């Protein structure tokens, strides 16, 4: 009996434990403080593989524009007063234009190859040069033109002379002085015959500035006023003899109150020293004529500006400065000099002469500013290309 009672009690205990496990109440824990920390895990975005399409960049249409509550007041607009016309390129710098009170003397020399090339149907540079002087005379206040010889290259070529004469005719309305270079009076090819025919006294003595002639314009002088000052330009052709030198001296001494400028063909060498003719003219003309302040020449290749000084009153002080200037571009480039000429701007107010070199054919200033243009065979002084001289007579 006891055994049966024990088994019954044991079964009751087992049943009671299973029921408690399924329905036991959950104990409520007292609230505790949360000490946990949130950890931000970085999101790694891998680069798209070639098979993927990358995220498109925002276009202008996707750009965020903030909302405007009130429309802005529009800026007032001005009605245009003229219509802009399109231009291809800006105009080139015109350094030859001068202000009121300044006047220009143009100088050409050794244009011989231009005459010869044109005769052979090569570039027609000669009339471009003289046409420029004619067309721009007003802008540069051009009052006088100097040519220091070798108008042609082949003395016995009528075609050379025709080309030269036609080019020079373009400036016949502007006072001009010329002389014969060695090519213009080459004794082996006719001497002065063609020079006298095309450039003799008869061609120039109608100019109001024309003074006295020596042997049919082999030499002569012009009386010119530049920027209010009176000048005498005396010309003499290549290889002056005793009679020619006497004419030069007589001409300068006849007008002692005028500033004297001597125009000859040969005076300075390629090395920048005085030639034999230059030494002769220095001693027999310049030293004796106290109103001579400048010599212009060509003949030899190159550019030079020399200063010489003379004691006229015998006090031991050389008070007179004379500028001896050579300009000859015929060795520059492959076209006989590229059409360069010199424009001498006389400014009495500032007591200076501004010299600029310009080629209307190339529309270029200063051949030597390009390092590749430096002539290896012949020296060309860069400082003697564009420069300013103080007037020693002022």
Could you read off the pLDDT of 32-45 as tens digits, one per residue?
Answer: 444 443 434 333 33
Give me the domains of the chain, ranges plus CATH numbers.
102-390 (3.60.21.10)
Q: What's the CA gap between 301 and 377, in Å, rounded?
A: 9
Residue with token string 């213009």? 184
394 confidence band (pLDDT: 50, 70, 90): confident
SS3 label, residue 342: strand
The pLDDT assigned to 332 comes to 82
Handedness of CA 169, 173, 174, 176 (dihedral sign): positive
The pLDDT assigned to 75 comes to 39
Q: To the nearest 5 percent, what fractions of the chain are helix, strand and coil?
A: 25, 20, 50
Mean pLDDT along residues 309-316: 96
Looking at the chain, the whole-number percentage of residues with pLDDT higher than 90 is 65
Contact status, residue 262 vs residue 292, Cβ threshold 8 Å? yes
Could you read off the pLDDT of 133-152 as tens digits, one per residue?
Answer: 999 999 999 999 999 999 99
Nearest alpha carbon to residue 336 among 96, 118, 107: 118
Contact status, residue 326 vs residue 297, Cβ threshold 8 Å? yes
Average pLDDT for the chain: 81
Nearest alpha carbon to residue 251 among 282, 210, 283, 280: 210
Contact status, residue 197 vs residue 126, Cβ threshold 8 Å? no
Contact status, residue 325 vs residue 304, Cβ threshold 8 Å? yes
Q: What's the CA gap between 102 and 353, in Å, rounded?
A: 9
Nearest alpha carbon to residue 261 among 284, 230, 237: 230
Beta strands 292-297 and 320-328 are: parallel
Could you read off the pLDDT of 202-229 as tens digits, one per residue?
Answer: 999 999 999 999 999 999 999 999 999 9
The secondary structure of 16-68 as a DSSP string is: HHHHHHHHPPPPPPPP--------PPPPP-PPPPTTSPPPPPP-GGGS--PPP
The pLDDT assigned to 119 comes to 62
Q: What's the CA gap between 303 and 381, in Å, rounded?
A: 5
If one compares 278 and 15, the residue with the highest pLDDT of the two is 278
Can you point out the beta strands (E) in the chain? 102-108, 142-147, 176-177, 210-214, 219-226, 229-236, 259-263, 292-297, 302-310, 320-328, 341-347, 352-359, 364-365, 387-390
The secondary structure of 162-187 as a DSSP string is: HHHHHHHHTTTTS-EE----TTTS-G
């Amino acid at each position: 009996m006891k055994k049966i009672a024990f088994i019954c009690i044991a079964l009751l205990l087992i049943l009671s434990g299973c029921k408690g496990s399924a329905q036991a109440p959950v104990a409520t824990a007292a609230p505790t403080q949360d000490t946990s920390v949130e950890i931000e895990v970085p999101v790694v975005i891998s680069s798209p593989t070639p098979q993927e399409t990358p995220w498109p960049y925002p276009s202008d249409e996707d750009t965020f524009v903030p909302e405007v509550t009130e429309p802005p007041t529009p800026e007032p607009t001005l009605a245009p007063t003229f219509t802009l016309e399109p231009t291809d390129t800006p105009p080139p710098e015109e350094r030859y234009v001068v202000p009121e009170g300044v006047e220009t003397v143009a100088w050409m020399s050794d244009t011989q190859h231009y005459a010869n090339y044109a005769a052979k149907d090569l570039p027609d540079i000669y009339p471009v040069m003289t046409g420029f002087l004619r067309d721009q005379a007003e802008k540069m206040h051009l009052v006088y033109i100097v040519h220091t010889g070798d108008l042609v290259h082949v003395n016995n070529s009528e075609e050379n002379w025709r080309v030269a004469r036609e080019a020079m005719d373009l400036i016949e309305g502007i006072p001009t002085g010329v002389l014969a270079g060695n090519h213009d009076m080459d004794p082996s090819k006719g001497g002065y015959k063609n020079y006298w025919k095309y450039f003799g006294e008869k061609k120039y003595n109608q100019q109001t500035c024309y003074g006295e002639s020596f042997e049919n314009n082999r030499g002569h002088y012009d009386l010119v006023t530049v920027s209010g000052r009176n000048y005498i330009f005396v010309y003499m052709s290549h290889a002056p003899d005793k009679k020619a030198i006497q004419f030069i001296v007589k001409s300068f001494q006849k007008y002692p109150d005028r500033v004297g400028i001597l125009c000859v063909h040969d005076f300075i060498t390629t090395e920048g020293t005085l030639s034999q003719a230059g030494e002769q003219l220095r001693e027999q003309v310049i030293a004796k004529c106290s109103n001579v302040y400048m010599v212009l020449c060509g003949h030899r290749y190159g550019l030079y500006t020399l200063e010489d000084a003379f004691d006229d009153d015998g006090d031991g002080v050389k008070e007179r400065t004379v500028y001896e200037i050579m300009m000859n571009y015929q060795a520059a480039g492959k076209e006989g000099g590229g059409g360069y000429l010199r424009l001498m701007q006389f400014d009495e107010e500032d007591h200076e002469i501004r010299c600029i070199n310009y080629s209307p054919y190339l529309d270029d200033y200063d051949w030597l500013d390009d390092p590749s243009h430096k002539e290896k065979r012949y020296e060309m002084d860069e400082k003697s290309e564009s420069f300013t001289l103080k007037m020693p007579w002022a």
